[in-house]
């Protein structure tokens, strides 16, 4: 493969991530996303070929990440997030293949939006899964209509992806960004719980409380931000969602603003 043609467009890097997977992690935030989530705190990742972002070959990025190995201990490793990492799947295959060869734990934090059973994507995806230990899947909404309202994209393929991962023994964490009045409807949360329970490989469900720290980026990009009047969830709202989702051990993480 010509590595020049397989350069990855990277939005930013975080050397000591603690929220995107187990342990201490080197987190790569890839550029590009086709979703348009109303609460997105990184709209600056949307444009896949952003001229501001850095390009790496898989080899160069792996070498850079590997320098942090002493901090990973027994549980940490590398997470690729975004934006939407699966949009750059050729790059990911090479990057994770190198990590896998060194026995490093690899995780993908994805919305699942690019998933399809069509070729050539599906063969690439199955190859990528050979080198991936954990998929962190952010299910924005289980209801198809509300999913389109929230993200501008359908969710049937995303739920299909979750089922495929389950059927093929791939470990998953399910995530939900909790936005009061938008994603915290009790019925919707019950559906999410039911869906997660129908899968065989979900290790945990996480709640990421919404925050508006990325709102200024929408303003900078001249995109109307429709949640300007929405406050972060209260502790009580988080606990209520936690209770519906059956989260018993406080696996609630802070939805951190990604490094810019």
User: Rounded to the nearest 10 degrees, how much is the dihedral formed by the CA atoms of 188, 190, 192, 194?
Assistant: -140
Asked if 163 is part of the footprint of ligand SF4 (rule: CB under 6 A), the reply reads no
Asked if 214 is part of the footprint of ligand SF4 (rule: CB under 6 A), the reply reads no
Asked if 259 is part of the footprint of ligand SF4 (rule: CB under 6 A), the reply reads no
Could you give the string, one character per residue 65-104, with x where binding to ligand SF4 holds by CB under 6 A and - elsewhere? Answer: -----------------xxx--------------------
Among residues 37, 61, 107, 174, the one that binds ligand SF4 under rule CB under 6 A: 37
Instruction: Provide the minimum distance between the beta carbon of 36 and ligand SF4 in the complex, in angstroms, as a whole number.
Output: 6
Which one of 31-39, 67-75, 87-95, 157-165 is the stretch in contact with ligand SF4 (CB under 6 A)?
A: 31-39
What count of Cα atoms within 13 Å lies in the side-chain half-sphere of residue 159?
17
Strand arrangement, sheet containing 202-209: 54-56, 8-17, 25-30, 77-81, 105-110, 134-138, 171-178, 202-209
Which one of 35-43, 94-102, 161-169, 187-195 is the stretch in contact with ligand SF4 (CB under 6 A)?
A: 35-43
Asked if 42 is part of the footprint of ligand SF4 (rule: CB under 6 A), the reply reads yes
Closest CB to ligand SF4 among residues 234, 257 = 257
Reference 126, options 139, 137, 140, 115; nearest CA is: 115
Structure-token pair, residue 26: 């080197």
Do 184 and 241 contact (CB within 8 A), yes or no?
Answer: yes
CA distance 247 to 241: 9
Q: Is the peptide bond before 120 cis (omega within 30 degrees of 0)?
A: yes
Handedness of CA 85, 20, 38, 225 (dihedral sign): negative
Asked if 162 is part of the footprint of ligand SF4 (rule: CB under 6 A), the reply reads no
Asked if 183 is part of the footprint of ligand SF4 (rule: CB under 6 A), the reply reads no
Asked if 36 is part of the footprint of ligand SF4 (rule: CB under 6 A), the reply reads yes
Do 63 and 95 contact (CB within 8 A), yes or no?
Answer: no
Among residues 10, 27, 40, 205, the one that binds ligand SF4 under rule CB under 6 A: 40
Instruction: Provide the minimum distance between the beta carbon of 138 and ligand SF4 in the complex, in angstroms, as a whole number.
Output: 7
Q: Give residues in contact with ligand SF4 (CB under 6 A).
A: 33, 35-37, 40, 42, 45, 82-84, 111
């Amino acid at each position: 493969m010509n590595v020049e043609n397989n350069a990855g467009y990277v939005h930013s890097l975080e050397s000591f991530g603690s929220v995107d997977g187990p342990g201490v992690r080197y987190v790569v935030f890839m550029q590009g996303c086709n979703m348009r989530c109303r609460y997105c705190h990184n709209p600056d990742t949307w444009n896949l070929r952003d001229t501001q972002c850095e390009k790496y070959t898989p080899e160069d990025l792996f070498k850079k990440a590997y320098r942090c190995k002493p901090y990973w201990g027994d549980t940490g490793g590398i997470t690729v997030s975004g934006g939407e990492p699966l949009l750059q799947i050729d790059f990911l295959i090479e990057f994770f293949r190198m990590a896998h060869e060194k026995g490093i734990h690899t995780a993908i934090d994805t919305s699942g939006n690019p998933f399809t059973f069509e070729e050539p994507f599906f063969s690439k995806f199955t190859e990528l899964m050979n080198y991936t230990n954990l998929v962190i899947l952010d299910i924005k909404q289980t209801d198809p209509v509300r999913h389109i309202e929230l993200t501008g994209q359908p969710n049937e393929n995303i739920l299909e992806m979750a089922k495929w991962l389950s059927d093929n023994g791939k470990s998953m964490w399910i995530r939900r960004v909790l936005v009061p009045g938008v994603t915290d409807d009790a019925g919707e949360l019950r559906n999410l719980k039911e869906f997660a329970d129908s899968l065989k490989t979900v290790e945990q469900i996480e709640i990421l409380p919404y925050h508006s720290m990325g709102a200024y980026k929408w303003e900078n990009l001249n995109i109307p931000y429709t949640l300007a009047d929405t406050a972060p969830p209260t502790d009580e709202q988080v606990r209520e969602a936690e209770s519906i989702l059956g989260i018993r051990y406080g696996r609630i993480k802070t939805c951190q603003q990604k490094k810019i």
